[in-house]
A and B are shown apart, each in its own frame.
Chain A
């Protein structure tokens, strides 16, 4: 495989990273909302939250992506396939992150919330200043896991025509008839990205010891 082909793959990595990062961040925001909904005292709201999590964890991501990719135009939303892909990945990861956050929120000591109550913090302040930061810190290892899952799952968006790493490897092997080295190189690049993420996250966890002890 020539250097030129390899560089094309490396460039395509950029899109893999961009799509994954945006999805992780959007998924985290949506996941926070969903996990709050799941714990709501209103029956309908918590049922909606739980149904969301159950559905997006129960159906294969590929089917979700195909569904969203085909559903959006039917609803009159003609968005680029990149946007559909990011929506699909974000919804799916939000369900997993909501579950992780639920565990994190459950680990926030009751005493801290009582103290916040005493100090007169509003529920909104309590959420964003006490509960959310502590829960996030507790969820960090699971979040790393999820980031790596999404990096790998982003290969599926090649199916809806987004040219990221997998799609680039596919296109190049179709035009050069060299699938073996191209897919091997793509696999290697995924491995490198994932290793960087997991090593970086371990460092971050190490330097991120503030908050409550588990």
Chain B
């Protein structure tokens, strides 16, 4: 078994660009998923019961089915209901809808961990719902939801690799095409795995650092 690293070096610029696509899709998709997930959690908590039921069905559906199937439904099934997307927007949309279901559950658990008394006190003081969410719930739960959020951000990073299957030109896709063109798949794949591994480790460590920094602001005795 010989490793052919020259090949990877010669494909350098291409891979660099693909790496950029991976990072951009990951960051944009994660941001969209966090925002969307937050509103799903809010909708489930303060919305009418029908909205709660509808959102719950969405969350259960997304969490109960593979990401790959969701992507296929969106990308290949979408055009049949008039939703034709290019790979990159489809990938972004898919990642956001997928991540939002998990983030909404994280936020829901976070909301529930805030002591009822705090919310009641805020209500007594005449704070509006928006104020209660923005000034009581979100700040109090931030420290508690941080570890599962970091976890989910890492999961989404790894899921970007799945986007290669619907031909999003990200890193895994580019390495796959490189490999099938040159029969030097294994070394390229090994480096690819190491790339994700390093990124995941960095994220995990940054998350722990943030956790340690923020922990003193957290709920006491929660």
Contacts and interface: CB of A to CB of B under 8 A. Distances in A.
B68 interface: yes
B5 to A, nearest CB: 15
A152 B67 contact: yes
B1 A75 contact: yes
B158 A61 contact: yes
Residue of A61, A70, A74, A75 with most partner-chain B CB within 10 A: A70
A191 B161 contact: no
Contacts of A66: 176, 185, 189
Residues of A contacting B: mostly: helix
A166 B66 contact: yes
B172 interface: yes
Contacts of B80: 179-180
Q: How large is the interface on B (under 10, 10 to 19, 20 to 34, 35 or more residues)?
A: 35 or more
Residues of B contacting A: mostly: helix
Interface stretch (B120-128, B134-142, B191-199): B191-199
Interface in A159-188: 159, 166, 169-170, 173, 179-180, 183-184, 186-187
A63 B69 CA distance: 18
A170 B197 CA distance: 30
A155 B77 contact: no
Contacts of A80: none
Contacts of B196: 58-60, 63
A204 interface: no
B65 A60 contact: no
Given A59-B197, A66-B176, A195-B64, A187 B69 contact: yes
Contact of A179 (B66, B76, B185, B198): B76
Contact of B65 (A62, A70, A187): A187
B217 interface: no
Residue of B60, B68, B81 with most partner-chain A CB within 10 A: B68
Nearest to B203: A58
Interface string B175-192: 010010000011001101
A64 interface: yes
Given A59-B196, A60-B159, A67 B186 contact: yes
Contacts of B161: 60, 62-63
Interface residues of A, number: 37
Contacts of A152: 65-67
A191 B186 contact: no
A59 B193 contact: yes
Nearest to A174: B76
A70 B1 contact: no
B164 interface: yes
Contacts of A62: 161-162, 164-165, 172
Contacts of A156: 66, 68, 162
A194 interface: yes
The list of the 5 closest CB pairs from A to B, nearest first, reads A58-B197, A60-B161, A180-B77, A155-B66, A59-B193
Given A60-B172, A173-B76, A183-B73, 11 more contacts: A60-B160, A60-B161, A71-B189, A152-B66, A152-B67, A154-B66, A180-B77, A184-B73, A190-B66, A191-B65, A194-B65
12 contacts: A59-B193, A59-B196, A62-B162, A63-B193, A67-B186, A67-B190, A70-B189, A74-B186, A75-B1, A152-B67, A158-B68, A183-B72
Interface of B: 1, 60-61, 64-70, 72-73, 76-77, 80-81, 158-162, 164-165, 172, 176, 179, 185-186, 189-190, 192-194, 196-198, 200-201
